[in-house]
Amino acid sequence: MSRSSDGDRVVPAGSAPVRRRGARGGLLAGLLGVLALTAQAGGQGHAAAHVHGLVPLEIVVEPGVVTIGMEAPLDSLLGFERAPRSAAEKQAAQALLQALRSGQGLFAFDPAAGCLLQGASATSEALEPPAGAARTVEHADVDARFEFRCTTTQALRAVDVGGLLDRYSRIRQIEAGIVAPQGQFKRTLARGAARQLTWGR
Ligand SMILES: [Zn+2]
């Protein structure tokens, strides 16, 4: 029954938000995963599906500016979704926030566009609980935003996400909503299939 993936969805069935034992539970979890993805495909703004292994991106291309929003399950990047406990977890959590806040080396563009990272930010309540917060967060995300200034976005038709994939091996799939002068696009990129999200070609 197993077969190699050639661009199909590779989000593992066990990664849906609800986990139950047995075949029936697996089916239910699978259905919920599909429903979550369908809801996301409906374009409900920030209501990105929380599916482990998946990283949703919102890419907006305007004249001279590219912004990339990310609302990723912590599991997809870090492997746990709560405040770090061990020294190793604390180090991993800090490294993740640091990497996202630096924004360097995650995304790349055609050099002809002359894009430079202008700003990057990242927040995660699970990793950095507000003072006094006692509740445990389940299925927590990290929200990040990256802004690039470009000399020209006229001919821009792709974003290279290879850096993101290389750094975070838990990512199975990237789903991008893209708003560009050429129109609006939904793109899915499975690990190993390609390194570029393309549009308007
Ligand atoms: Zn989760």
pLDDT in tens, 12-30: 444 444 433 444 444 444 4
The β-bridge relationship of strands 173-180 and 54-62 is: parallel
Higher pLDDT, 171 or 21: 171
Average model confidence (pLDDT) for the chain?
83
Q: What pLDDT does residue 132 have?
A: 81
Strands 141-149 vs 116-123: parallel, antiparallel or unpaired: antiparallel
Residues 6 or more apart whose Cβ sits within 8 Å of residue 48: 40, 56, 71, 141
Please check the confidence at residue 201 and state whether its pLDDT lies above 50: yes
Contact criterion met (CB below 8 Å) for 145 and 120 = yes
Of the two residues 201 and 99, the one the predictor is more confident about is 99
pLDDT of 105 reads: 97
Measure 31 CA to ligand 1 centroid, in angstroms.
16
pLDDT category of residue 49 using cuts at 50, 70 and 90? confident
**Ligand 1: distance of its center to the CA of 199 in Å?**
29
Residue 138 CA, ligand 1 centroid: distance in Å: 7
Alpha-carbon span 188 to 53, nearest angstrom? 13
Quickly state the pLDDT bin for 44 (edges 50, 70, 90): very low
Please tell me the predicted confidence (pLDDT) of residue 189: 97
Q: How far is the CA of 16 from the centre of ligand 1 (A)?
A: 8
Percent with pLDDT over 90 in the chain: 70
Rounded-to-integer distance, Cα 82 and Cα 189, Å: 27
Ligand 1 centroid – CA 74 distance (Å): 7
Instruction: Please tell me the distance between residue 140's alpha carbon and the centre of ligand 1 in angstroms.
Output: 6
Per-residue pLDDT for 47 more than 90?
no
pLDDT tens digits, residue range 68-107?
A: 999 999 999 999 999 999 999 999 999 999 999 999 999 9
Alpha-carbon distance of 123 to 141, in angstroms, equals 9
pLDDT at 46 (0 to 100): 53
pLDDT at 26: 46
137 compared with 150, residue with greater pLDDT: 150
For residue 119, give the nearest of 48, 68, 61, 72 by alpha carbon: 68
Comparing 129 with 31, which gets the higher pLDDT? 129
Number of H helices, E strands in the chain: 4, 8
Using the mean position of ligand 1's atoms as its centre, give its distance from the Cα of residue 59 in Å: 23
Q: How far is the CA of 82 from the centre of ligand 1 (A)?
A: 10
- Residue 134 CA to ligand 1 center (angstroms) comes to 19
User: Cα of 72 to ligand 1 centre, how many Å?
Assistant: 9
Among 33-37, 76-80, 100-104, 109-113, which stretch is predicted with the lowest mean pLDDT? 33-37
